[in-house]
A and B are shown apart, each in its own frame.
Chain A
Amino acid sequence: MRGFSWLKTPGLWPLALVIVAALVGPELAPRDPLLTDVAHALSPPSATYWFGSDQLGRDILSRVLSAGRLDLAVAFTAVTLSAALGATIGATAGFLGGPVDQILGRLTDVLMAFPLFIVAMALVAVLGNTIANVVYATAIINLPFYIRIARGDVRSRRHAGYVKAARLGGAGEAEILLTILLPALLPTLVVQMSINLGWAVLNTAGLSFIGLGVRPPTPEWGGLVSEGAQYVLSGQWWVAAWPGLALTLCVFAFSLAGDALRDLVDARSRG
C-alpha cells in the first residue's frame, strides 16, 4: 500500500505478534498438546512446564499455542464471511432504497443492541455442536454491523458525482454497485473487521466456555479456561490463567489494531 509502513504504525505490532504466534507457535510448542502425563498432573509453572500442566498432565503452553491457531482461524473465517455477506446485503439495500431499505435499517438497529451472544448460543444449539456451526453462528450475529456500514456508505455515495457520471457513461446499475460502490467500502470494512475479530474470538471462547462448539480434548482458549475453572478454587490458577491471559491479549491486540487502522483510514480520507 502506498505510503503504508509497518514501522510507523505501532498499533498494529501486537496484532502482528499475535498472528505470528498463531501461525508459527504450535510448531514451536515443546510438546504435543494432546499428550497426557497423569503423573505430572497439575504441576505449577516450572522449567519443564513453562505454563504448568493441567489435570491430565498436558503442557498448558502447548495447548495455549495450539488453541490460538484454532481461535484465530475460526474468527477470521467467520468475520470474512460476515463482512462479505453483510456488505453485499447492505450495499444492495442502500443502493435500491425504498421501503425494503428502511425496514432493513430499522431491523439492524434493533439487532445491534440485542445481546447477540444469546442468539449465537441458540444457533449453535440447534444447528449442532460443531466448529463449523460456531463459525456460521458467529458470522450471522456479526452481519448487522456490516449491513449497517455498507448501507450507510452506499446511501451517501449513491448520488455522488462520479456515480452519475458512470451512469451517463452507460454503466448498468449492477455494474456501478459492483465496480464502484463495493470497492469504495473496503477501507471502512477493514476497520470494522479488525474490531469484530476481537469480538469473534471472545464469542467463540464464550461458547466453548459453556460447552458449545469446540469440545475437549481439542484445545480452544475458552474451553481451556472452562477446564481450569474448577481448579482456581483450590488455588491452581495456571490452568485457567494462561489461556485467559492469551485471550485477553489477543482481543486487546485486535482493538489496538482496529484503532490504528481507523486513524489510518481517516487520515487518508481527509487528505
Chain B
Amino acid sequence: MNASLPRFLVSRVLAAAPILVGAVIVTFVIMRVLPGDPAALLAAGPGSGPAEIAALKHQMGLDQPILEQLARYGREVVVGDLGRSFTTGNPVTTDLGARLPASLELTGAALLLAALIGLPLGIGAALRPGSLLDQTSRALAALGTALPAFVTGLGFIYLFYFRLGWAPEPIGQIDSLLTPPHAYTGLMLIDSLLARDGEAFLSALGRLMLPAATMALFALAPLIRITRGALIETLSADYIRAARALGLERRTIVVHYALSNAATPILAALGMVFSYMLGANVLVEKVFAWPGVSAYAVDALMSADYAPVQGFVLTVAALFTGVNLAVDILQGLVNPQIVNGG
C-alpha cells in the first residue's frame, strides 16, 4: 500500500499547480486589464504627470501585447519580484515576508482555538443528539454565522478591555514599551519562548487572545455544523452497527470506527474554515491594528499603492492552495482508500 503514497503525493501537488497559475492570471487580469489605467495607479503614484506615466508604461512593458505582458508578469512572480511599495519604499516581497508570520500566528492560533472548541462540541453533539450540548452547539453555530467579524471584535474589546480590564490595549502584537524578541521564526510567541523572555511572551499572548477569539468565533459555526453532520452520518453506517453487534468497547468504536471515518470530511471542513478565516483576517487585523499582511494590503490600498495589494492577493492564493494541499494529503493518510483510489 505504501508504494502508492509517493504517487499520491505527487498527484496532489500537480493538481494544486493549476490553481496557482490561475491566481497569477486572475491578479494579472484584475490589475492590468481592467479599466482604470492601472499603469498609472500601480507604479507612478498620485501626482505624476502624463509624460512620466508614458515613460513608466514603456519601462514596465505595458505598451506590449497582452500575452507578452502576462508572460513577463509570470516570470516576475516566479522570481519573486512583486514590485515595490511606494509607501514603505521596500520591495513588496520584503514587506510581505516581514509581515506574514504575524498573520500566520493569528490565523493559526484562531484555527487551533476554533478546532479545540468546535471539534469536541460537534462530536459531542453528534454522540448525544437532542441533548443540551447539542442544542447549545447549534445555537453557538447560528450566532457565529450572523455576527460579522468586526462587530464581534469590537464587542470583545469593549467587554474585555474597557469593561472588565482583563485584556491589554488592543493595539498591535506586543506592548509597545517592550522590546520584541529576536525574530527567529517571526512568530512572536515562539520567538519569545526561544529567547526565554517571559514578559514578552505573556504580553504577546495577551494581545493574541482577543483577535484570535474573534476569528475563532467566526469559524466555529461551520466547523461545529460540519463535524456534527459528518459524525452523525458516519454513525449510521453498517460497519458501526456491525461493530456494536460484535460487542466492541465504546471507546474503540468512537475513536477507531467512527472518528477515523468522519475525519475525512472533518479535515475538509478545517480547510474550508481556514479559507473563511483568510477573509475575516482582513477585518480583524484592521480592528486590532495587527501588523500582518492584510493590514499591510489595506493600508496600501488606502494610499492608492497597488503593488502590495496585488502581492497580497497572490499570497492569499498561495496560502489557500497550500492549505488545500495539506488537507488532501492528510485525508490520504487517514483514509487509505483515497491513496489507492479505492
Contacts and interface: CB of A to CB of B under 8 A. Distances in A.
Direct A–B contact present (CB less than 8 angstroms)? yes
A126 B297 CA distance: 13
A81 to B, nearest CB: 17
Interface string B181-222: 000000000000000000000000000000000000000000
Contacts of B155: 241, 244
B253 interface: no
B148 A247 contact: yes
A163 interface: no
A47 interface: no
A255 B145 contact: yes
Contacts of B262: none
Interface in B298-342: 298, 301-302, 306, 309-310, 312-313, 316-317, 320, 324
Contact of A119 (B297, B301, B313): B313
Contacts of A206: 148-150, 282-283
B316 A118 contact: yes
A202 B150 CA distance: 10
A115 B150 contact: no
Contact of B279 (A110, A117, A123, A235): A117
A248 B154 CA distance: 13
A210 interface: yes
A211 B298 contact: yes
B162 interface: yes
Given A209-B150, A247-B148, A251-B148, A115 B320 contact: yes
Contacts of B145: 251, 255
Interface stretch (A154-162, A175-183, A225-233): A225-233
Interface string A221-263: 0100110110011110100110011011001100100000000
Given A110-B22, A113-B275, A127-B34, A237 B158 contact: yes
B69 interface: no
B30 A211 contact: no
A270 B79 CA distance: 57
A118 to B, nearest CB: 5
B161 interface: yes
A235 B313 CA distance: 35
A127 B35 CA distance: 7
A114 interface: yes
B31 interface: yes
Interface string B267-302: 000011001111110110011000000000110011
B282 A252 contact: no
A212 interface: yes
A81 B148 CA distance: 24
A120 B307 CA distance: 16
Contacts, number: 124
Contact of A125 (B161, B276, B306): B306
Nearest to A228: B154
A34 interface: no
B148 A115 contact: no
B173 to A, nearest CB: 17
B283 A210 contact: yes
Contacts of A75: none
A156 to B, nearest CB: 22
Given A113-B272, A232-B154, A126 B22 contact: no
B157 interface: yes
B151 interface: yes
A114 B271 CA distance: 11
A204 to B, nearest CB: 11
B132 interface: no
A84 interface: no
B47 interface: no
Contacts of B316: 115, 118
Interface string B136-160: 0000001001111111001101100
B260 interface: no
A31 B262 CA distance: 56
Contacts of A233: 157, 161-162, 169-170
A232 B286 contact: no
A126 B300 CA distance: 12
Nearest to A106: B18
Q: Which of B26, B41, B283 has the most CB of A within 10 A?
A: B283
A122 interface: yes
B172 to A, nearest CB: 13
Nearest to B147: A248
Interface in A103-151: 107, 110, 113-119, 121-123, 125-128
A251 B150 CA distance: 14
A118 B278 contact: yes
Given A233-B162, A248-B147, A251-B146, A128 B36 contact: yes
Contacts of A125: 301, 306, 309
A115 B279 contact: yes
Contacts of B278: 115, 118
Interface of B: 19, 22, 26-27, 30-31, 34-36, 38, 41, 142, 145-151, 154-155, 157-158, 161-162, 169-170, 271-272, 275-280, 282-283, 286-287, 297-298, 301-302, 306, 309-310, 312-313, 316-317, 320, 324
6 closest A-B pairs (Cβ-Cβ)?
A: A115-B279, A244-B151, A117-B279, A252-B146, A115-B278, A251-B146
10 contacts: A118-B313, A119-B313, A122-B31, A127-B36, A205-B148, A209-B150, A225-B154, A229-B150, A229-B287, A247-B148
Given A206-B150, A206-B282, A225-B154, 10 more contacts: A113-B324, A114-B317, A121-B301, A122-B310, A125-B301, A209-B286, A212-B301, A233-B169, A235-B162, A241-B154
